[in-house]
């Protein structure tokens, strides 16, 4: 190996689920270019189960954010500081010589610096968040100001001279988990099997679509395409999922409880289509090559659209332009972008995605 070639590499992408998914093709390109390198990934607890048993990661580091927050809530500042110092020392002792930080905010750049790596690649000022750029040795200006997040993460490989073409998202889904997921979908009793994910993150309420409309979408797809629909849900989302089921008049079933993100990924792999709003599970399905229909309102699809692993481009989405969209708001007192999306828009997009999947599968 060339002495300039990094042998111990740490990726820092702490959260959230969708953003961790966006960094997976970068990991794949890195692993293919440097097959003998030792690669670690630093993530926070909430998204850690996505990377469990990952075949391209030699060591998974889980930042103790929840533990630190719990100590601070109890006023145990010294204990929290000691816990962080112990974690930082363990990270530094691993001896990484390169850090790649697609997260590029104050927290992630500080952790990258704590690793002791002499080379740290992140985004340049104006593209890194919270002034993080000054802690990097290599500051990358993205190739385009408006590009999908997957493509922006791949830009961080440019200082290493790595060609990212053909990069894909790999997950370590165990075969028993895949078998369980296939059995769950087979219980629906027919094809196409369509997963509907109505949930959003706590910070993403502005992106919510009416659960009644999700239910009516399932009715239309069942009647027009013979679709078998089920509703997936995560922690705290069961009641929302049940509202969709209730509105579907028996055309959608409640999906099984999943114990990890990998179980959810396996369910999506077994489906013919996934429908959802701009949230982590939708990005997960698209990155696995599952056809998706994304419902978009406030976010700019040029940046936040799902990355379709089958084409390497943006996946299909439904969006009704309104005067104030896209925006960068986290809250809104007059949400008009999501209600503008009609059931017929989603049904039409679902039909098109299913047809396109058949075309891609046939190679025509």
**Which CATH fold would you assign to the domain 8-160?**
Rossmann fold (3.40.50)
> What single DSSP character describes residue 276?
E
The Cβ-side half-sphere exposure at 71, using a 13 Å CA radius, reads 14
Confidence band for 355, pLDDT divided at 50, 70 and 90: confident
> Nearest to residue 311, comparing CAs of 287, 330, 345?
287
For residues 138-145, average pLDDT: 93
SS (H, E, C) the chain: CCCCCCCEEEEECCCCHHHHHHHHHHHHHHHHHCCCCEEEEEEEHHHHHHHCCCCCCCEEEEECHHHHHHHHHCCCHHHHHHHHHHHHHHHHHCCCCEEECCCCCHHHHHHHHHCCCCEEEEECCCCCCCCHHHHCCEEECCCCCCCCHHHHHHHCCHHHCCCCCCCCCCCCCCHHHHHHHHHHHHCCCCCCEEEEECCCCHHHHHHCCCHHHHHHHHHHHHHHHCCEEEECCCCCCHHHHHHHHHHCCCCEEECCCCCCHHHHHHHHHCCCEEEEECCHHHHHHHHCCCCEEEECCCCCHHHHCCEECCCCEECCEECCCCCCCCCCCCCCCCCCCCCCCCHHHHHHHHHHHHHHHHHHHHCC
Residues 6 or more apart whose Cβ sits within 8 Å of residue 161: none
Predicted local confidence at residue 135, as pLDDT: 95
Answer whether residue 269 shows pLDDT above 80.
yes
Answer whether residue 2 shows pLDDT above 80.
no
Predicted local confidence at residue 1, as pLDDT: 43
Confidence band for 360, pLDDT divided at 50, 70 and 90: low
- Give the C-alpha separation, 313 to 52, whole Å: 27
> Nearest to residue 329, comparing CAs of 209, 204, 193?
204
Phi, psi of 287 (to 5 degrees): -65, -25
Predicted local confidence at residue 39, as pLDDT: 98
- Give the C-alpha separation, 28 to 314, whole Å: 19
The answer to whether 162 and 240 are in contact (CB under 8 A) is: no
Predicted local confidence at residue 5, as pLDDT: 85
The answer to whether 108 and 101 are in contact (CB under 8 A) is: yes
Answer whether residue 361 shows pLDDT above 90.
no
The Cβ-side half-sphere exposure at 336, using a 13 Å CA radius, reads 7
Query: With respect to CATH, is domain 175-362 assigned 3.65.10.10?
Result: no
Answer whether residue 357 shows pLDDT above 90.
no
Phi, psi of 302 (to 5 degrees): -65, -25
Confidence band for 363, pLDDT divided at 50, 70 and 90: low
Predicted local confidence at residue 222, as pLDDT: 96
Confidence band for 330, pLDDT divided at 50, 70 and 90: confident
Residues recorded for the chain: 364
Domain boundaries, the chain: 8-160, 175-362
The answer to whether 228 and 193 are in contact (CB under 8 A) is: yes
The answer to whether 164 and 29 are in contact (CB under 8 A) is: yes
Predicted local confidence at residue 121, as pLDDT: 98
- Give the C-alpha separation, 63 to 48, whole Å: 9
Query: What percentage of the chain carries pLDDT values higher than 90?
Result: 90
pLDDT digit string (tens) for 306-327? 999 999 999 989 999 899 999 9
Confidence band for 359, pLDDT divided at 50, 70 and 90: low
pLDDT digit string (tens) for 183-233? 999 999 888 999 999 999 877 899 999 999 999 999 999 999 999 999 999
């Amino acid at each position: 190996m060339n002495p300039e070639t990094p042998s111990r590499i740490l990726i820092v992408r702490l959260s959230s689920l969708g953003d961790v998914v966006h960094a997976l093709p970068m990991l794949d390109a890195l692993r293919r270019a440097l097959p003998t390198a030792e690669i670690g990934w630093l993530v926070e607890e909430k998204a850690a189960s996505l990377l469990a048993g990952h075949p391209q990661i030699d060591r998974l580091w889980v930042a103790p954010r929840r533990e630190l927050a719990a100590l601070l809530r109890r006023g145990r500042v010294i204990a929290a500081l000691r816990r962080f110092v112990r974690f930082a020392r363990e990270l530094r002792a691993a001896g990484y010589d390169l850090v790649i930080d697609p997260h590029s905010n104050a927290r992630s750049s500080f952790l990258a610096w704590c690793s002791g790596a002499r080379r740290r690649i992140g985004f340049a000022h104006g593209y890194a968040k919270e002034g993080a750029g000054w802690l990097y040795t290599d500051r990358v200006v993205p190739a385009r100001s408006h590009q999908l997040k997957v493509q922006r993460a791949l830009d961080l490989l440019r200082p290493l001279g790595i060609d990212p073409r053909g990069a894909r998202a790999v997950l370590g889904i165990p075969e028993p988990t895949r078998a369980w997921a296939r059995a769950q979908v087979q219980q629906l009793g027919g094809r196409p099997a369509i997963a509907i994910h109505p949930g959003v993150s706590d910070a993403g309420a502005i992106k919510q679509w009416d659960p009644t409309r999700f239910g009516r979408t399932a009715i239309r797809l069942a009647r027009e395409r013979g679709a078998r629909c089920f509703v997936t849900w995560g922690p705290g989302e069961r009641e929302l999922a049940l509202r969709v089921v209730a509105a579907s008049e028996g055309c959608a079933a409640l999906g099984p409880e999943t114990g990890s993100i990998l179980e959810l990924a396996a369910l999506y792999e077994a489906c013919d289509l996934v429908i959802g709003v701009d949230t982590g599970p939708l990005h997960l399905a698209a990155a696995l090559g599952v056809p998706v229909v994304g419902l978009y309102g406030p976010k700019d699809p040029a940046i936040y659209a799902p990355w379709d692993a089958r084409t390497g481009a943006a996946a299909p989405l439904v969006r009704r332009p309104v005067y104030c969209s896209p925006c960068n708001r986290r809250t809104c007192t007059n949400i008009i972008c999501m209600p503008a999306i009609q059931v017929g828009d989603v049904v039409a997009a679902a039909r098109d995605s299913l047809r396109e999947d058949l075309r891609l599968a046939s190679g025509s």
